[in-house]
Amino acid sequence: MRYNDDMKEGMIVKKTATLNLRVNPIVKERAEEVLNQLGIPMSIAIDMYLNQISMTGGIPFAISLPKPSPNINIEGMTDDELLNKLKQGLNDVKNGNVEDAQIAFDKFKRKVKREKI
């Protein structure tokens, strides 16, 4: 059996359907690196994914929202919680627990970049 053929009820069925889709180029590149190490062409990996959906009747992995950062998530805070965080920050400044702004921003940028990956 060749890559462009498939079995359906004991018969070879030609793979003639075409998918044209847009994806994030960075995600595609990272996926290609993994697939190349596994020796699996992208088209076969997508075919495997579609077969799993067909066989299981759903997405073959758990889908969930990303967990919010444990630091400060204003959307999930009550007014009192936010006020307490602001007071903690003010106390840090009063007690000299401060850092140079450029160093703090550089750390923040590195952390955000890691979390997006």
pLDDT along the chain (117 residues), means of 10: 53 82 94 95 95 94 77 79 90 90 89 74
Residue 72's pLDDT is 67
pLDDT of 13: 75
The helix-helix angle for 42-56 and 25-38 (nearest 10°) equals 90
* Residue 22 DSSP symbol: -
On whether both 105 and 81 belong to a single domain, the answer is yes
Handedness of CA 65, 68, 74, 79 (dihedral sign): positive
109 and 82 inside one domain: yes
Regarding whether 75 and 41 lie in a shared domain, the answer is no
Structure tokens at 105: 């921003």
- Tell whether 51 and 29 lie within a shared domain: yes
Q: What residue type is assigned to position 41 of the chain?
A: P
CATH number at residue 58: 1.10.1220
In this structure, the answer to whether residues 31 and 58 fall within a common structural domain is: yes
Q: What is the pLDDT of residue 42?
A: 95
